[in-house]
Structures are given as structure tokens and as C-alpha cells.
Amino acid sequence: MKYLSFSVGGSDTYGAVSGDGVVDLGKRFGDRFATLKDLIAGDFPDEVVAAAREPADYALDDIAYLAPIADPVHIWCLALNYVEHHDEVQNAGRVQELPKKPAMFARARDSFAAHEQPLRHPGVSEQFDFEGELAVVIGKPGHRIPQDEAYAHVAGYTVMNEGSVRDWQFHTRQITPGKNFYRSGAIGPWIVPRDEVGDVDDLRIVTRLNGRVMQDDTAGHMVHKIPAFIEYASSIAPLYPGDILATGTPSGVGFSRKPPVFMRPGDVCEISIDRVGVLRNRVEEG
């Protein structure tokens, strides 16, 4: 099942993909679950799952995708969480050693566009880079979650382009500026429940820029696995339903290539993850 937030006829709602269309779950259950985040907090009740299999209310071509979760409390991201990505960054002279603890940072909600919405070129920089990532969506809240209980707090998974403005990222030791440009990243198109995705280690993550494969790896090559990430993040602050944890990007990013490859207006970036989905965005002038 694929659960998504979308707009149709000027109204925002949420639903589930059914064939080439969408079942409007907001219309059916909006009095109980106002948003997809509320539905996730309710742990996808059986009646909602059954309704999601009904005939579609709208064609996919007739909706506008929204970010699956409009207002997460936290968007935590990991840097340098794949060995080969660390190596390419190190070879570019940017870091020294592989982090012994998760190299975590935060992103703002408005730094992300939805599926098929434009990525905004930063304008003040030409070093606009792509980062394909598997993102975890929290379902069950928790604080100081031990690793052996971590997956019980996962609602599902989505796809992220953790777009980065490299020169701004490296102005100082704090990478936050280069990670938070308005609409520089993207997330979506939907959330697939954890049980339907299964073991994430064999999930293939592929990033294409204008059809050319730039990144191609599996999630099993993460340095800090999802349970360790959840334990670490929830030690800092409680995790809430709808929180997003981006698990880091594999090797193949643009700035480490020779010559570097960056996203420019008119480019199309597409990130696919097995059993999760395909996130596609065109780059426009900022």
C-alpha cells in the first residue's frame, strides 16, 4: 500500500494509491484522522486499510502531490553514512575520518518540495548537488528508544532527495546553511508501510540526472543502521509520529566527480528505491 498526501480541486487531503488512481481516505476518515500524520499515529487501522483497496476516486494524473507529512516535528538527517561516500568526500579534501557516532543534522520543512514539484536552484551558488536517500517515517512516539525496539516505532519509508548547496555547506564546520535552502530537496511521492517493505538492507537506491545513473547502491551499506539512528536521535529529543529520519546518501554525488556535476535549471533528477517508489523533480530558477 502507498499512502500519500495530495491536493485536488483546490483542497488538500490524503489517500492511498489504487491502480492508476487514488482513494481519498481523507474524505472517508477525515473526522477521525485529519491528516496522513494522524493516520500514521493511529497505526493504519484495519478499516482504513480495507477502504484503501476500494476503487479510486481520482486518477493520479488529476492530483497534485504534496509532501507526505506536511508538518513533522523533526527532520533528522545523517551525513557520511556510507563508507564509499565518506571516501569520495575525503578524497575531495573535506573530511578526515569516518564518524564513530551518527553525523546528524536537521533540515527545515520548507527546504523540501514534493514529488513532481520543482526544485529551486539556489541562485547564489552553482554547486547544487543531489543526494538520493531512504527516509524513515516514525509512527509510534518514543524517547530514548533502545535499538532492539526501534523498528516498532517505524511507520514506513519514503524517498528523499537531500539536495545540498556544497559551497555553502562548507563555509564553516557547520553544514546547516548548505542543507536548508528553500525547496532545495524533495520528499515523496508516498509512504510505504514498514511491513510491506520488509528488510531494508537489499533496497537498491538509484539516482539519475537527466536519465544518467549517478548513484547506485543498496541500503545495506549504511554505516549506522536504522535502529542505531533511532536510538541516537531519540536520545536527544522524543520522536513523534510523522518525524522523518533521512539515512544518508551513497557514493556518486556530483561535487566529488571529476569534473563536478551539479544540477542546473531544466535538469530532471529522479531517485528510485526498490519497493518504495520513484521521486522525480525538475530544477527551476530559484
Q: Are residues 100 and 41 in the same domain?
A: no
| Last residue within a domain, chosen from 18, 34, 65 | 65
Backbone dihedral region of 221: left (phi > 0), alpha (psi from -120 to 50 degrees) or beta? alpha
Looking at the structure, tell me whether residues 7 and 79 fall in a common domain: no
Under 8 Å between Cβ of 138 and 242: yes
Q: Are residues 103 and 218 in the same domain?
A: yes
Residue that is last in its domain, among 65, 90, 113: 65
273 and 135 in a common domain: yes
Q: Report yes or no on 144 lying in a domain.
A: yes
Q: Are residues 178 and 205 in the same domain?
A: yes
Distance between alpha carbon 254 and the CA centroid of its chain, in Å? 19
Give residue 78's identity as a one-letter amino acid code: L
In a domain, residue 220? The reply is yes
pTM attached to this predicted model:
0.96
**What is the mean predicted confidence (pLDDT) over 27-32?**
98
Q: 222 to each of 23, 49, 200, 219, 225, how far by Cα in Å?
A: 35, 32, 10, 6, 6
Question: pLDDT tens, 97-126?
Answer: 778 899 999 999 999 999 999 999 999 999
Provide the number of structural domains found in the chain.
Answer: 2
Q: Dump pLDDT digits (tens) for 38-68.
A: 999 999 999 999 999 999 999 999 999 999 9
Does residue 137 share a domain with residue 220? yes
Q: 143-194, pLDDT tens digit by residue?
A: 999 999 999 999 999 999 999 999 999 999 899 999 999 999 999 999 999 9
Report the CATH number that the domain containing residue 242 is assigned in CATH: 3.90.850.10
| Domain C-terminal end among 23, 47, 65 | 65
Cell, residue 9? 480541486
For residue 227, the enclosing domain spans 75-284
Same domain, 138 and 263: yes
